[in-house]
Amino acid sequence: MSALNEYAITKLATITGIDAKTVAVTSLYTVPAGKTFIPVFVVIRVTAFTVGAKGVQAVASFGGNSATFDDFLNTVTYTVAAVDTFIRDGVEDSALVTQAAGDVFSLSIETGSDATTETWAVDVFGYLL
């Protein structure tokens, strides 16, 4: 019997403890050997948040192109004002990108939030060919 992730859009990975205040790249999912990954959407879950004097929102990209990690979602501002905020983001009504076997689908925080605390968990949804 084939795996669900080859016949349905499913959650393929969850990464927790991502500091949205820090400019960094976080690996989210490595495409298995012999497979092609079609990312459909991500869900950002805010697991810890303290506003402080917040004036800057986190700006991030998602993708598998190792130079900039922005071939799926490019330079998006994620507005967060409370813990337990859930943000679904994906590419609607346009060509989907594919990630080849061995590619690492990642999150790149390009501008860090200036909240006192802002921690994310990211769920990756898609399917494999």
The answer to whether 108 touches 60, Cβ cutoff 8 Å, is yes
What phi and psi, each to the nearest 5 degrees, are found at residue 71?
-80, -10
pLDDT at 91: 79
Q: Which CATH number applies to 4-128?
A: 2.60.120
pLDDT at 93: 65
The band of 26, judged by pLDDT with boundaries at 50, 70 and 90, is very high
86-118 per-residue burial string, b: 16 or more CB within 10 A, e: under 16: eeeeebeeeeebebeeebebbbbbbebbebebb
Rounded-to-integer distance, Cα 106 and Cα 112, Å: 16
Residue-wise pLDDT for 32-52, tens only, equals 999 999 999 999 999 999 988
> What is the token pair recorded at 93?
């009504």
What phi and psi, each to the nearest 5 degrees, are found at residue 4?
-55, -35
The band of 4, judged by pLDDT with boundaries at 50, 70 and 90, is low
Apex 43 CA angle, 97 and 24, nearest 5: 75
Task: State the average pLDDT over residues 70-76.
Answer: 90
Task: State the average pLDDT over residues 102-114.
Answer: 95
Helices (H), the chain: none
Residues 6+ apart with CB under 8 A from 128: 3, 5, 6, 12, 31, 32, 35, 36, 37, 38
| Whole-structure pTM value | 0.91
pLDDT at 108: 96
pLDDT at 95: 77
